[in-house]
Structure 1
Amino acid sequence: MKKCLIFLIAIMTLLPSALASAASSSTNATTYFTSMNTSSKGVTAKADYIQWYRGERANQEAQKDHECYWYKGKCYVPDDYYIRNVNKKIRSLKISKSAVITMVTYQIDKTNDIKKQRLSLSAFTKEMKKKRYRYIPFHITVKNGVIVKITEQFIP
């Protein structure tokens, strides 16, 4: 009985911390944003998750899809990256008001500069209205179903 009671106390002590860490789990994904919606509840993004590959892994994945250029018997992808979009499911994700947002082509049409820049959520949603971002990959971190970090992936 005493062993059972000690075991039960140990489980009850550890369980809340285990649940807290499970509840605050975060995931990373690469996505295309198909649209943004601003309402009184905040900003919601429509996200189409993609698979992003670089380097030799990009060549291998492109070869599986017959999407590469052959040179001396080896498969190569242009610009050393490959994007696959096997699941066209669109996810609706809220963006945190305090999300960390970094872009490299922010206002490139005005400045011709490619550099990392932090943006506010408001500036980001305004910039994302431009059609050129439809097929630009973004790396996101989602915590408890909410996007907390967005980083634009520069593609040449």
Structure 2
Amino acid sequence: MKKGAKAILYGCLATAVVLTAVTTASLMNKKSVAHAEPETTITVLISSIENKDGRLLLKADPIAWYQGDEANKIFAERDPEGAAEIGGVPDGYYIVNDDKTETTYELSDQAEVLMQLLNPKEIKWNEEISVSQFVEVMDHKENYDQTVFPYHLTLKDGKVVKVVQQYLP
């Protein structure tokens, strides 16, 4: 083989090795991103929170929460007579809960908890409380039953990392 042909062959081989390495690195990077679990938010009705083996387990019934025009649209689809009679949802929201199956979620002890009506006599938008305060408030239903409110839960890596109480007028 001549020197010029060898140089071209080695050049092509080197290029192929570099392209393979770059492609492999790129694919490996994409694979790790694809498996990273993004945060998701769901809306639920919480029935209880219990401490089991050092883990806080939150039992809740997932619901569909609609506001504004979307609430009016879903209301009209599901109850055309009622929507025609009153013209739309009375308080600007509509809840759909066709399946009342409860699901258990693990509540992170570092979760952010934001309440709207911790005290029934005073609205404080996004009042931050600790997870332990939240557990206590949810457990004392005789004072002011916080389980009547929907909650928006942010889930990450299988745990609840944020809880936001939904204000109901």
State the TM-score bracket (shorter-chain normalisation).
Answer: 0.7 to 0.9
Aligned to 1:97: 109
Aligned to 1:70: 84
8 Å CA contact retained: 1:60, 1:75 = no
Tell me, in whole angstroms, the C-alpha distance in 1 between the residues paired with 2:162 and 2:132.
Answer: 14
Letter in 2 for 1:70: A
Q: Deviations 1:16-38 (Å, cap 9, x if unpaired)? A: 46424632311111111111111
Change over 3 Å in CA distance of 1:16–1:113 after alignment to 2: same
Aligned to 2:148: 135
Q: Which has the higher helix share?
A: 2
Please, what TM-score do these two structures have when normalized by structure 1? 0.83
Change over 3 Å in CA distance of 1:14–1:41 after alignment to 2: farther
Change over 3 Å in CA distance of 1:19–1:88 after alignment to 2: farther
Letter in 2 for 1:106: L
8 Å CA contact retained: 2:152, 2:164 = yes
Where do 4+ consecutive residues of structure 1 move more than 6 Å?
none
- Within 5 A, what are the aligned runs for 1:5-154? 6-7=19-20, 9-16=22-29, 18-20=31-33, 22-66=35-79, 68-71=82-85, 75-108=87-120, 112-116=121-125, 117-131=127-141, 132-154=145-167
Unpaired runs of 5+ residues, structure 2, are: 1-12
Q: Which has the higher strand share?
A: 1
Letter in 1 for 2:93: Y
Tell me, in whole angstroms, the C-alpha distance in 1 between the residues paired with 2:17 and 2:99.
Answer: 48
Tell me, in whole angstroms, the C-alpha distance in 2 between the residues paired with 1:146 and 1:17.
Answer: 24
Q: CA deviation at 1:126?
A: 0.7
Q: CA deviation at 1:13?
A: 4.3
Letter in 1 for 2:132: S
Unpaired runs of 5+ residues, structure 1, are: none
The percent of aligned pairs where both chains have the same amino acid is 27
Partner SS, residue 149 of structure 2 = coil
Partner SS, residue 148 of structure 2 = coil
Please, what TM-score do these two structures have when normalized by structure 2? 0.78
Higher Rg:
2
Alignment: residue pair count: 151
8 Å CA contact retained: 2:75, 2:83 = no
